[in-house]
């Protein structure tokens, strides 16, 4: 009964009744008015019966239909309002962007987060709010979506109107209209706080709170990676265990606060003693570990250890206290002193105890032979300081030949050191030490001036033209006066700049400092040519080459070894030759020792060669004889 009464009071029933009554009245009136003209009796109720019945049926039906229509319109409007409400009040940033990037609409969270008001949004292009660093990636995403790709979760940095970055993460999708791509819709979450929290957690988990250096956990991780890299690239790796001598005394006498400040300062000095890709970590207390990675040989390690000790030993002024500190350093080298992280750390630790057991303020290698080498190394370093003044250097020249014309077309100047005690020392041993100590600057200048002078003299004596290649260290390219040094060497000797070539290693390209790039362009503008030495060993890529004013690549001698049978080497050499040709570069192969290599190179159109097959590096007097003999070199 209740249900029945409810139905009677419902809106559709009322609609039905109202429309039925209205229909009955309207049809009755409409039917009786025409009849009344012909004399029909308006008071005769039977005249109204049928029109009222038809009218009420039609009205009722119309009532039902209009009720439905009204209800559906109402439902639609309220759905739209709900969606708009959801869209506007969503906490995520929602945006719709036309294919050219102009912003179509955004929600309130978007406007509030990025600081724009309603009227400003319509004139924005989405790239006005995306950080310039992300433009390229975003354009790629746009293009990928338009060409049918899928973009899953995307991270973008937006810039607020006041310039502050806001990191967001979300999904982007493409909208179609009439089967044509129309616009891009995206829903983003602001993840700046989450990212900041992640960084903080990472900092707490992996870094030492006091010094900001990596902690034991991160050290272990970095060491494992460094060992894997050393294995892969056949590099050396050094692990240094550093303990501060008598640090406990500072804590006991001046208190922990001063001790902490001293540790912070010592950590900073350690940081300053290494290259950026070396890792210095604090294990706890006054113990630090340093990983020296990516070295081609371990000759520099004693020098680095010495530098650490000197840096640590400089006096400290902490809150008015003048303090002096020293350290003990133990060194283990991969692979000879251990091939895994635990062994290397343990052995470096043992070596550190041996250093401390002496008088402190010293370093020790884990292996005895390395200790002996280290002493020699430091002696070399001291010896190098006097080598120029004591006239211990001289230059040998190795011919570079053109196999096609069977002529010597140039020579490479190679430095030699006649050590009073050790005799002839190889440049592979002393050049890294000279670089590490900065002595390469005066030594390099000496080589340039002497080589230009000797070659010009030879040219005049023999009345020939001959190119000169001189090796230039990356360190020299960090010194702005290198251009002046080159100009002076050319001027003094009278050698034309087009006859001088400077060989730089790939590491200069990889490290690619602005200074080096600028200087290379200046050098090149003098007419001096630039060659990349030992090409193929230094992980440089084509993209690096394009930025440098390079004239020639020198294929490293290691790739010529067993070239007829080693398919990898053959493929590398072939690729370098083809690549040089494509880039319009000259190419020369070094380390040619046998005729098979000559054949391989000439078959691939690389007629320029240098190597023992033609001649070892020789003194200027011997070079003169070689040139005079001419063809003998090619027999």
**Where does this chain bind Mg ion (CB under 5 A)?**
471, 503, 533-534
For the CB of residue 392, give the shortest distance to ligand C2E in the complex, in Å: 14
DSSP 8-state assignment for residue 631: G
Separation CA 205–CA 174 (nearest Å): 41
Long-range contacts, 561-564 (Cβ 8 Å, 24+):
561/591, 563/596, 563/597, 563/600, 564/596, 564/600
3-class secondary structure, 203? helix
CB 592 within 8 A of CB 560: yes
For the CB of residue 408, give the shortest distance to ligand C2E in the complex, in Å: 14
Strand partners, 588: 554
Distances, alpha carbon 526 to alpha carbons 447, 496, 517, 586, in Å: 19, 10, 15, 19
> By C-beta, is 214 or 617 nearer to ligand C2E?
617
CB 608 within 8 A of CB 576: no
> By C-beta, is 129 or 509 nearer to ligand C2E?
509
Distances, alpha carbon 18 to alpha carbons 3, 4, 5, 21, 50, in Å: 21, 19, 17, 5, 18
Q: Which partner in ligand C2E, Mg ion, none is near 30 (CB below 5 to 8 A by kind)?
A: none
For the CB of residue 590, give the shortest distance to Mg ion in the complex, in Å: 5
Q: Which partner in Mg ion, ligand C2E, none is near 415 (CB below 5 to 8 A by kind)?
A: ligand C2E
For the CB of residue 593, give the shortest distance to ligand C2E in the complex, in Å: 4
> By C-beta, is 503 or 506 nearer to Mg ion?
503
Separation CA 412–CA 429 (nearest Å): 19
Task: Provide the pairing of β-strand 93-98 with 180-190.
Answer: antiparallel
Q: Which partner in ligand C2E, Mg ion, none is near 290 (CB below 5 to 8 A by kind)?
A: none
3-class secondary structure, 311? helix
Separation CA 284–CA 611 (nearest Å): 53
As given in the structure block, the two tokens for residue 108 are 């309130």
Largest Cα–Cα distance of the chain, in whole Å? 149
Q: Which partner in Mg ion, ligand C2E, none is near 428 (CB below 5 to 8 A by kind)?
A: ligand C2E
> By C-beta, is 15 or 533 nearer to ligand C2E?
533
Q: Which partner in Mg ion, ligand C2E, none is near 243 (CB below 5 to 8 A by kind)?
A: none
As given in the structure block, the two tokens for residue 589 are 């192969």
Q: Which partner in Mg ion, ligand C2E, none is near 496 (CB below 5 to 8 A by kind)?
A: none
Separation CA 533–CA 531 (nearest Å): 6
Closest CA to 95 of 75, 115, 110: 110
> By C-beta, is 95 or 476 nearer to ligand C2E?
476
Separation CA 403–CA 467 (nearest Å): 16
> By C-beta, is 227 or 468 nearer to ligand C2E?
468
Q: Which partner in ligand C2E, Mg ion, none is near 330 (CB below 5 to 8 A by kind)?
A: none
Q: Which partner in Mg ion, ligand C2E, none is near 501 (CB below 5 to 8 A by kind)?
A: none
For the CB of residue 252, give the shortest distance to ligand C2E in the complex, in Å: 50
Listing DSSP states for 87-142 in one string gives: HHH-SSEEEEEETTSBEEEE-HHHHHHHT--HHHHTT-BHHHHB-GGGHHHHHHHH
Interface with ligand C2E by CB under 6 A: which residues?
398, 414-415, 426-428, 431, 444, 447, 471, 473, 503, 533-534, 557, 590-593, 610-612, 617
> By C-beta, is 351 or 431 nearer to ligand C2E?
431
Q: Which partner in ligand C2E, Mg ion, none is near 427 (CB below 5 to 8 A by kind)?
A: ligand C2E
For the CB of residue 414, give the shortest distance to Mg ion in the complex, in Å: 7
> By C-beta, is 236 or 552 nearer to Mg ion?
552
> By C-beta, is 130 or 477 nearer to ligand C2E?
477
Q: Which partner in Mg ion, ligand C2E, none is near 473 (CB below 5 to 8 A by kind)?
A: ligand C2E
For the CB of residue 395, give the shortest distance to ligand C2E in the complex, in Å: 7
For the CB of residue 227, give the shortest distance to ligand C2E in the complex, in Å: 27
For the CB of residue 299, give the shortest distance to ligand C2E in the complex, in Å: 12
> By C-beta, is 243 or 533 nearer to ligand C2E?
533
Separation CA 128–CA 137 (nearest Å): 15
In SS3 terms, 459-524 reads as HHHHCCCCEEEEECCCCHHHCCCHHHHHHHHHHHHCCCHHHEEEEEEHHHHHHCCHHHHHHHHHHH
> By C-beta, is 299 or 329 nearer to ligand C2E?
299
For the CB of residue 502, give the shortest distance to Mg ion in the complex, in Å: 10
For the CB of residue 556, give the shortest distance to ligand C2E in the complex, in Å: 7
As given in the structure block, the two tokens for residue 118 are 């309603």
Q: Which partner in ligand C2E, Mg ion, none is near 593 (CB below 5 to 8 A by kind)?
A: ligand C2E
What is the residue whose two structure tokens read 């990037």?
101
């Amino acid at each position: 009964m209740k249900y029945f009464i409810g139905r009677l009071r419902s809106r559709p029933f009322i609609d039905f009744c109202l429309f039925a009554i209205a229909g009955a009245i309207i049809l009755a009136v409409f039917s009786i008015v025409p009849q009344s003209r012909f004399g029909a009796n308006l008071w005769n109720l039977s005249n109204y019966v049928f029109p009222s019945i038809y009218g009420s049926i039609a009205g009722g039906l119309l009532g039902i239909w209009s009720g439905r229509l009204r209800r559906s319109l109402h439902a639609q409007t309220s759905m739209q309002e709900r969606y708009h409400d959801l869209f506007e009040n969503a906490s995520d940033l929602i945006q719709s962007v036309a294919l050219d990037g102009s912003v179509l609409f955004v929600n309130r969270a978007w406007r509030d987060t990025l600081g724009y008001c309603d009227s400003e949004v319509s004139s924005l292009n989405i790239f006005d709010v995306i950080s310039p660093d992300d433009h390229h990636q975003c354009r790629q995403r746009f293009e990928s979506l338009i060409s049918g790709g899928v973009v899953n979760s995307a991270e973008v940095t937006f810039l607020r109107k006041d310039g502050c970055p806001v990191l967001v993460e979300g999904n982007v999708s493409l909208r179609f209209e009439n089967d044509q791509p129309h616009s891009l819709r995206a829903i983003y979450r602001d993840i700046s706080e989450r990212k900041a929290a992640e960084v903080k957690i990472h900092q707490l988990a992996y870094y030492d709170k006091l010094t900001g250096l990596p902690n034991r956990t991160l050290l272990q991780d970095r060491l494992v990676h460094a060992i894997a890299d050393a294995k892969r690239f056949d590099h050396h790796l050094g692990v240094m265990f550093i303990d501060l001598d008598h640090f406990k005394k500072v804590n006991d006498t001046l208190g922990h606060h001063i001790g902490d400040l001293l540790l912070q300062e010592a950590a900073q000095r350690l940081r300053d003693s290494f290259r950026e890709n070396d890792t210095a970590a604090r294990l706890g207390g006054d113990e630090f570990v340093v990983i020296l990675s990516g070295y081609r040989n371990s000759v520099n390690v004693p020098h680095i250890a010495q530098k650490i000790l000197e840096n640590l030993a400089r006096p400290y002024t902490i809150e008015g206290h003048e303090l002096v500190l020293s350290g003990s350093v133990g060194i283990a080298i991969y692979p000879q002193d251990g091939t895994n992280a635990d062994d290397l750390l343990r052995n470096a630790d043992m070596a550190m105890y041996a250093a401390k057991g002496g008088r402190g303020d010293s370093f020790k290698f884990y292996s005895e032979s390395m200790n002996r080498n280290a002493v020699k190394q430091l002696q070399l370093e001291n010896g190098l300081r006097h080598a120029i003044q004591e006239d211990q250097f001289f230059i040998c020249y190795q011919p570079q030949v053109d196999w096609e014309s069977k002529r010597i077309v140039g020579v490479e100047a190679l430095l030699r050191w006649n050590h009073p005690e050790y005799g002839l020392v190889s440049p592979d041993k002393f050049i890294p030490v000279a670089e590490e100590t900065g002595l390469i600057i005066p030594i390099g200048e000496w080589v340039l001036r002497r080589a230009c002078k000797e070659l010009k003299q030879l040219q005049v004596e023999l009345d020939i033209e001959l190119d000169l290649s001189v090796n230039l260290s990356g360190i020299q390219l960090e010194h702005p006066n290198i251009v002046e040094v080159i100009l002076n060497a050319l001027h003094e000797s009278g050698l034309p700049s087009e006859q001088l070539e400077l060989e730089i290693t790939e590491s200069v390209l990889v490290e690619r400092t602005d200074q080096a790039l600028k200087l290379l362009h200046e050098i090149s503008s003098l007419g001096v040519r630039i060659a990349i030495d030992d090409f193929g060993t230094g992980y440089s890529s084509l993209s690096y080459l394009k930025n440098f004013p390079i004239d020639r690549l020198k294929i490293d001698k290691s790739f010529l070894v067993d070239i007829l049978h080693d398919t990898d080497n053959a493929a590398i050499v072939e690729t370098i030759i083809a690549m040089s040709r494509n880039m319009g570069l000259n190419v020369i192969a070094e380390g040619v020792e046998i005729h098979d290599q000559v054949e391989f190179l000439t078959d691939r159109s690389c007629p320029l060669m240098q190597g023992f097959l033609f001649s070892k590096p020789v003194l200027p007097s011997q070079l003169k004889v070689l040139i005079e003999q001419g063809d003998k070199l090619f027999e």
